[in-house]
Amino acid sequence: MNGSRHTMDWQIGGGRAIHSDRTRIMGILNVTPDSFSDGGHYADAENAVSHAYKMASQGADIIDVGGQSTRPGHIPVSPEEEWRRIEPVLQALCADESLIISVDTYYPEVARKAMELGAHIINDVTGFRDPLMRQYAARYKVGCVIMHDITLDEKEDVCAALVSFFQKRTAECMDDGIERERICLDPGVGFGKSYEQNVSIARRFGEICFENYPMLAAASRKRVIGMSCGNPPADERMPGTIAYHTACILGGANLIRVHDVAEAAQAAKVADAILHSYNE
């Protein structure tokens, strides 16, 4: 932990920006029947929209809408099915200018349709690997979350691997027209990494903060949390999630992606106060 973090504001869609004055909260809205933690709870569009507003009232700065699970061993759904699930939710949420909407997808056509409706951010768990995804994001001038999803050898130094990936992928994105200030980086906790590597990300977060880009920590209820505390059910991992994310914030994370918004928002305020005291 280094007691400091990058301060570049993150430019997103609709001429808006996510400011770096405090930790920002991205609330998870899974419009799916099979997500590892809350699958089926918000598969109905009306329930999903209601939950989005609840998260906003609890302190979510961003609502991250996803139409398929990306848990280990998931069975991908088609782009058509993913869009069928999220379209009515996006129709309702994107019409409200008080909300900032992110869409969790790796399908370029789903992303394009979402951006046409007014989504502000594309959160791609394949890290904008697809050139078409990069081209669409550049055209619509949205925020882009680039996540690391490459499987690492257990002996690899995770921080060195992440920095190398971020260097390569950010260059590819900018070559395809995505503006630098629209990029946010996610180390991809739980994607292709060992338990030890996932723990190291939190412990050494300052080492992966790269060239002043905003950094997202997204470990909510994941396996690394469970394995650290006796493997409770996913919906009982909120305290462990807070501990992990607090370490990331103190190491330099600007945003955290969470299921439990109210608790995360309170913890982030305390972490921000501690971080501020480092810099006085």
Residue 89 belongs to a domain: yes
Handedness of CA 104, 70, 151, 196 (dihedral sign): positive
Which pLDDT tens digit goes with each residue over 57-113? 999 999 999 999 776 666 789 999 999 999 999 999 999 999 999 999 999 999 999
Residue 51 belongs to a domain: yes
Element (H, E) at 122: strand 121-124
Residue 4 belongs to a domain: no
Element (H, E) at 198: helix 195-203
Mean pLDDT of the chain: 93
pLDDT of residue 280: 58
Q: What type of residue sits at position 196?
A: E
pLDDT of residue 69: 76
Read off the CATH number of the domain in which 139 is found. 3.20.20.20
SS3 track for 267-280: HHHHHHHHHHHHCC
pTM of the entire structure? 0.93
Q: What type of residue sits at position 244?
A: Y
**Domain with 216 in it:** 10-278
pLDDT of residue 36: 47
Residue 1 belongs to a domain: no
Residue 2 belongs to a domain: no
Catalogue the active-site residues.
Answer: 222, 257
pLDDT of residue 44: 83
Over its length of 280 residues, how does the chain's per-residue pLDDT go in tens digits? 554 676 789 999 999 999 999 999 999 999 987 554 544 565 688 999 999 999 999 999 999 999 997 766 667 899 999 999 999 999 999 999 999 999 999 999 999 999 999 999 999 999 999 999 999 999 999 999 999 999 999 999 999 999 999 999 999 999 999 999 999 999 999 999 999 999 999 999 999 998 999 999 999 999 999 999 999 999 999 999 999 999 999 999 999 999 999 999 999 999 999 998 866 5
pLDDT of residue 278: 66
Residue 234 belongs to a domain: yes
pLDDT of residue 277: 83
Residue 139 belongs to a domain: yes
pLDDT of residue 32: 84
Q: Can you state the percent helix, strand and coil of the chain, rounding each to 5?
A: 45, 15, 40
pLDDT of residue 210: 87
Total number of domains constituting the chain: 1
Which pairs with CB-CB distance under 8 Å and at least 24 residues apart come from 38-45? 38/235, 38/259, 39/69, 43/85, 45/88, 45/89, 45/92
Residue 3 belongs to a domain: no
